[in-house]
Amino acid sequence: MLKAQNPILSGFHPDPSILRVGDDYYLATSTFQWFGGVALYHSRDLVSWEELPSPLRRVSQLDMAGNPNSGGVWAPCLSYCDGTFYLIYTNVKNFHGIFKDTHNYLVTTNDLYGEWSEPIYLNSSGFDPSLFHDDDGRKWLVNMRWDHRVEKNDFSGILIQEYSPSEKKLVGEPRLIFKGTSIGATEAPHIYKLNGYYYLMVAEGGTMYNHGVQMARSSQLFGPYEADPMPLLTTRNNPERRYQRTGHASLIDTPRGEWFVSYLLGRPVGDKKRCILGRECAIAKVVWDENGWLRLADGGVVPPEEYTVDLEKSSVPELPETDYFNEKEIPPRYKTLRIPLDEFGSLTEREGYLRLWGHESITSWNKQAMVARRLQHHHAEATIEMEFAPTDFQKMAGLTVFYDTYNFFYLYKSYDDELGEVLRIIVRDSLKFYNPLGGAIQIPKSEKIWLRARIDNLTLKFYYSIDNKTYEQVGPELDCSNLSDEAYCDIDHEGHTGTFIGMACQDLTGGANNTRAYADFASFTYKHYDE
């Protein structure tokens, strides 16, 4: 019997879709504006997880240039039938205001570790699509439907429509099968067929502190669906709990007959109750009660912080603290912003280095050079080793702690006509820019520089070194609570992502790659401390 602590995937891992194929377990989560899209994991014991390369590694599969903050890949659904893996995902091009442009696609593969197909367009009527494989061989797409009408402007229920594999398209007419409960914001549908019932699992209450998971069932695929008298899981009535925002789940069983749901949660910290790690991924054991409803194995509706599973312990490769960029590809835990690495960077231009050519500004939604990884702990430190020789104040490179283009911190090296090589900090806090240094800090001219960020709950400190031995703090201690979904409650926008720490380079003078300023990064070190 194995015991594990939630979250199973710390840091930004929302909207989990979990799948078992034989003795292997796979889990896919949303990536929003980060490329490659869809984070994919493998496990053999539901405790230890290894991140695999993303299924969406080509622009032909996922074109996100120009997508808004928190657009891009929402709520992927991973399924398997007759030797084929199916992945459905949404590419959100716009979701502000009354309209949501949510385009749903399907890709397939016979080898989860290999290449995935070109996408098949499905529909755009709403988001959170999933594919149900019925036991008669027919396949059905379900997704929530968005109603843009001003007098309604809401989640308007769950649609179902048949998918034809031979024709590679949806066929027949969509049907509305479930309008949800009084909690509202009904989304994230998954259908399971058991014991003569079609069970519909949905999320309700929105993605913040009212979030939860609701079950419904029907003896017929098209309904009517009877809602469970109580939610499967939620913390909406338990604000004292350390884990909050629980919801958006999917269901599996094990070969030994145990049942589990994978769901998302947030871990707020500080008086402001900010989840700077974003929405994370957790697991809870569930059982079927005497009335045929799914219940948490420990009782109640609040999922436990720990779970046990009756499987043999497995292991995955331990991740190093320091990554050296001497391979042909960056590890899958590193993501790029909206566009693939080959549009602005290279691992072969200089052996042993990641080269980033400067492109658009750090606020661009199109082509900017950034490679980053998730912040996964409330107490963490990240250090980059960089070579960069700027000749103009419009050329810069450095270390960013980044939620999105509206909320970030950026310590960068640049050039000043009077001071020479300098360090500067740009902060964008809920649309407002400021420099906590008030200007620039002159630094010794050196070939290499190390830049460091230290995060402790909701505070951030920057440091630099020219020898990787003596580090000097740059600027004051900063409040980084804006790196959270909750920060958007104060402005007219929505945020659904999580904090990343990364390397970036900009050349605002423009030009072709071979004429642009570039920065070479030799290593990235990530350490974490006791929570």
Active site residues: 15, 187
d(CA 449, CA 447): 7
List Cα–Cα distances, 191 to 134, 219, 295, in angstroms: 9, 12, 17
Who contacts 291 (Cβ-Cβ below 8 Å, separation ≥6)? none
Largest CA-CA distance found in the chain, in angstroms, rounded: 78
Strands 432-434, 441-442: parallel, antiparallel or unpaired by DSSP? unpaired
**Residues counted in the chain:** 531
**What are the structure tokens assigned to 324, written together?**
């050296």
In the numeric block, which tokens belong to residue 10? 């710390």
Which among 95, 88, 51 has a CA at the least distance from the CA of 495? Answer: 95
- Concatenated DSSP letters for 287-356? EE-TTS-EEETTSSSS--SEEEE-S-----PPPPSEEE--SSS--TTEEEESS-GGGTEESSSSTT-EEE
Residue that the structure tokens 């999320």 belong to = 203
Write the secondary structure of 412-463 as one string of H (helix), E (strand) and C (coil).
EEEEECCCEEEEEEEEEECCEEECCCCCCEECCCCCEEEEEEEEECCEEEEE
The two tokens of residue 514 are 């071979």
Residue spans of beta strands (DSSP E) within 33-168: 34-35, 39-43, 50-52, 72-81, 84-94, 101-109, 120-123, 130-133, 139-147, 154-164
Q: In what order do the strands lie in the sheet with 72-81?
A: 72-81, 84-94, 101-109, 120-123
Under a CB-based contact definition with an 8 Å cutoff, are residues 502 and 492 in contact? no
What are phi and psi for residue 205, nearest 5 degrees? 90, 5
Tokens linked to 270: 């500080």
